[in-house]
Amino acid sequence: MSYKPTPKEISELRSRTSAGIGDCRAALEEVQGDMEKASDVLRKKGIAKAEKRAGRSASQGLVVIELAADGKSGGLVELNCETDFVAKTDDFIALARDLARQVAANAPVGVNAGSIDAQPFRDSTVAESVKLTSGKTGEAMTIKGFARFVQPNGVVAAYSHHNGQVGVLIDVEGPAGEALLALAKDLALHIASADPVGITEADIPADLVARERRIAEELVVAEGKPENIRSKIVDGKVRKFVAERTLTGQSFVKDDAITVGDLIKNQAKLIGGTVTVKRFARMKVGEG
């Protein structure tokens, strides 16, 4: 005789798994009312459904940051889904926040420095937990990127836009204290707004500079500039491009009369020591 679950059993399984009534009834029938086995059946089905969705576009989501209480480390993660509606659900937000804590505590140090998929997380692994939430919501989900910084000789600070769409994590070495933390927060805010490619000219990819030089060379020819001054004009355009794309060369968003490089030097004098931006990570939902 086939097993017929009671309404109470179906309700309990729904509260455990967030699955639909029909799925809960079928799972309980399949395992003859064993609640634990029924939960496993639904979990596996949810992961299987999520894997089928994996190829779909996930361009909405959240960027979430977790900082250590001592200001010496932190993590940032971008979790993507398909629609803004799902990005605002409790399940998705809770997953993003838990992942930020996971990254802050256990991810390899750096920006996307390895994989966290197999790390123990919740009751399984990071990858399976993402798939499980994907199965519940009906949308493809993916961890777009993550970063973890540790700075024992300075501070790790952050900026997060109020809507969770942009986040910045920054690692600044220098004499620890409120002044360094305030500077680091200002720098994170600047990075969120100005989107630099690197910290200094040395961080700009050579192919990007070469591409900009080719564009500048074609432009001066098209504009009919005299040949004897073309190289100087091209050099000037390239220098301007590099300055605009490097953190230290950009005009500070709070005071465009100074560059970020000058800001760091000025604050270093006030703080009483060398201040160095070691690295940063900027993530924006739907970008890249």
Q: The domain that contains 230 carries what CATH number?
A: 1.10.286
Q: Over the Cα atoms of the chain, what is R_g?
A: 25
Judged against a pLDDT cut of 70, whether residue 160 lies above it is answered with: yes
pLDDT value at position 141?
A: 93
Would 154 be classed as within a structural domain?
A: yes
Judged against a pLDDT cut of 90, whether residue 124 lies above it is answered with: yes
Closest CA to 64 of 87, 96, 36: 96
Same domain, 35 and 120: no
Domain membership of residue 211 as a residue range: 205-245
- 59 vs 287: CA distance, rounded Å: 8
Domain count, the chain: 3
pLDDT tens-digit series, residues 56-66: 667 899 999 99
Long-range residue pairs from 263-271, CB within 8 A, at least 24 positions apart, any chain: 263/183, 263/186, 264/183, 264/187, 267/179, 267/183, 268/174, 270/179, 271/174, 271/175, 271/177, 271/179, 271/180, 271/183
Same domain, 194 and 238: no
Percent of the chain surpassing pLDDT 90: 66
pLDDT value at position 203?
A: 92
Same domain, 179 and 142: yes
- 163 vs 116: CA distance, rounded Å: 25
Would 1 be classed as within a structural domain?
A: no
Same domain, 182 and 258: yes
The pTM assigned to this predicted structure is: 0.79
